[in-house]
């Protein structure tokens, strides 16, 4: 259960007077969510989701909240922040910045088929296109600078094998400079639990709180690393092809992007291996239960390294 900040119907009703969304009918905590408190809210005017931000500050929020508004206005199925009578998209509730967004129907697809991967690839490409005109900027806080700094903190805690692998991967990634790859606003965390499906179609992309400006292909690699793996953690060729083809149909990949793909898959695996190692070795108080095993991400990384090595041998 992830309701860190309890809200009563009375408290919410008072808060909703700042909005034109009708009268509160029902309020229900949402168990999912590690970083924020989420409630399902039903009013006389429809269904909404209330988010109380447990860590993000009012100064940090506009990038994320306005991004969702921008993408939703362009037809991307993502939560649409509701503005208050004073036109603001968030306001304090129980001492936390809080935001009311539109409710999205559908459920995550835990066992995606190639069709699901294609649908996600297409919507991700549309989101990348729609993001082009987004005026705010935020350098992806989980990019190369972050993983180098975090790896430095981690090194003393790692076993020799992991330390060597991490060091070697950092060296490898530093060899590649991504200045020629198309950049833009990325979701940054488009795992299966952040995509809703309804009747076979993508009905929602959620959780934009790892979004930022970065290489677009990095976003696609993060997505592939979660959507296109088989039970052994190896890339499933059919699902990966479905994802890439559908993306390419909407935003054609350049020759440079095709060449960079194996490197970006490794970069995406590295990013999540590093963050999971960090959460594992530096658990935040009260959050131990949420720390996910870093081994899964390490396996993805080593599988990509092995696959690239096989590919390289073909060229020799």
Question: Residues 8, 11, 28, 46: which binds a copy of itself (CB under 8 A)?
Answer: 46
By CB under 8 A, tell whether 245 contacts a copy of itself: no
Question: Residues 65, 165, 190, 202: which binds a copy of itself (CB under 8 A)?
Answer: 202
| Binding span for a copy of itself by CB under 8 A among 21-29, 32-40, 174-182, 275-283 | 21-29
Smallest gap from Cβ 56 to a copy of itself, in A, equals: 21
By CB under 8 A, tell whether 48 contacts a copy of itself: yes
Please tell me the total number of residues recorded for the chain in this structure: 316
Question: Residues 2, 203, 302, 308: which binds a copy of itself (CB under 8 A)?
Answer: 203
* DSSP-based three-state secondary structure for 138: coil
Q: Which residues of 2-26 are buried (b: 16+ CB within 10 A; e: fewer)?
A: ebbeebeeeebeebbeebebeebee
- Identity of the residue, 44 or 111, whose beta carbon is nearer to a copy of itself in the bound complex: 44
Contact by Cβ (8 Å): 261, 221: yes
Q: How does strand 96-102 pair with strand 46-53?
A: antiparallel
By CB under 8 A, tell whether 130 contacts a copy of itself: yes
Smallest gap from Cβ 47 to a copy of itself, in A, equals: 10
Binding mask 67-106 for a copy of itself (x = CB under 8 A): --x---xxxxx--xxxxxxxx------------x------
- Identity of the residue, 22 or 259, whose beta carbon is nearer to a copy of itself in the bound complex: 22
Contact by Cβ (8 Å): 104, 204: yes
Identify the burial level of 154 via C-beta atoms within 10 angstroms of its C-beta, where 0-12 means exposed, 13-18 middle and 19 or more buried. Answer: buried
Q: Which of 97, 96, 61, 100 is nearest to 80 (CA)?
A: 100
- Identity of the residue, 47 or 296, whose beta carbon is nearer to a copy of itself in the bound complex: 47
Q: Which of 247, 234, 226 is nearest to 108 (CA)?
A: 226
For residue 299, give Cα distances in angstroms to 157, 234, 294.
19, 9, 9
Name the DSSP letter for residue 193: G
Q: How does strand 195-198 pair with strand 24-29?
A: unpaired
By CB under 8 A, tell whether 201 contacts a copy of itself: yes
By CB under 8 A, tell whether 45 contacts a copy of itself: yes
By CB under 8 A, tell whether 20 contacts a copy of itself: yes
Smallest gap from Cβ 289 to a copy of itself, in A, equals: 35
d(CA 205, CA 142): 20
| Binding span for a copy of itself by CB under 8 A among 40-48, 159-167, 263-271, 285-293 | 40-48
| Binding span for a copy of itself by CB under 8 A among 90-98, 178-186, 201-209, 219-227 | 201-209
**Which tokens hold the place of 32?**
């999912």
Footprint on this chain of a copy of itself (rule: CB under 8 A): 19-23, 44-46, 48, 69, 73-77, 80-87, 100, 119, 122-123, 126-127, 129-130, 132-133, 201-203
């Amino acid at each position: 259960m992830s309701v860190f900040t309890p809200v009563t119907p009375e408290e919410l009703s008072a808060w909703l007077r700042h909005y034109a969304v009708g009268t509160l009918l029902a309020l229900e905590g949402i168990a999912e969510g590690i970083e924020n408190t989420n409630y399902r809210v039903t009013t006389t005017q429809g269904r909404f989701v209330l988010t109380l931000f447990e860590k993000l500050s009012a100064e940090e929020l506009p990038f994320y909240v306005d991004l969702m508004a921008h993408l939703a206005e362009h037809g991307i199925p993502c939560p649409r922040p509701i503005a208050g009578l004073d036109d603001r998209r968030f306001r304090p509730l129980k001492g936390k910045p809080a935001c009311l967004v539109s409710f999205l129907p559908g459920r995550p697809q835990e066992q995606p088929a190639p069709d699901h991967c294609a649908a996600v690839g297409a919507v991700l490409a549309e989101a990348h296109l729609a993001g082009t005109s987004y005026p705010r900027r935020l350098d992806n806080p989980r990019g190369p600078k972050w993983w180098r700094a975090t790896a430095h903190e981690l090194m003393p805690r790692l076993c020799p094998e992991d330390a060597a692998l991490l060091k070697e991967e950092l060296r490898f990634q530093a060899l590649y400079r991504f200045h020629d790859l198309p950049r833009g606003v990325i979701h940054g965390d488009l795992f299966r639990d952040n995509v809703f499906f309804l009747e076979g179609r993508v009905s929602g992309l959620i959780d934009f709180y790892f979004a930022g400006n970065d290489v677009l292909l990095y976003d696609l690699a993060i997505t592939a690393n979660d959507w296109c793996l088989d039970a052994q953690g190896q890339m499933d060729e059919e699902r990966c092809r479905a994802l890439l083809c559908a993306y390419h149909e909407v935003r054609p990949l350049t020759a440079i992007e095709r060449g960079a793909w194996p490197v970006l898959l490794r970069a995406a695996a590295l990013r999540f291996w590093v963050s999971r190692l960090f959460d594992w070795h530096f658990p935040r108080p009260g959050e131990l239960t949420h720390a996910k095993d870093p081994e899964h991400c390490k396996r993805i990384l080593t599988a990509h390294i092995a696959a690239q090595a096989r590919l390289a041998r073909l060229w020799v």
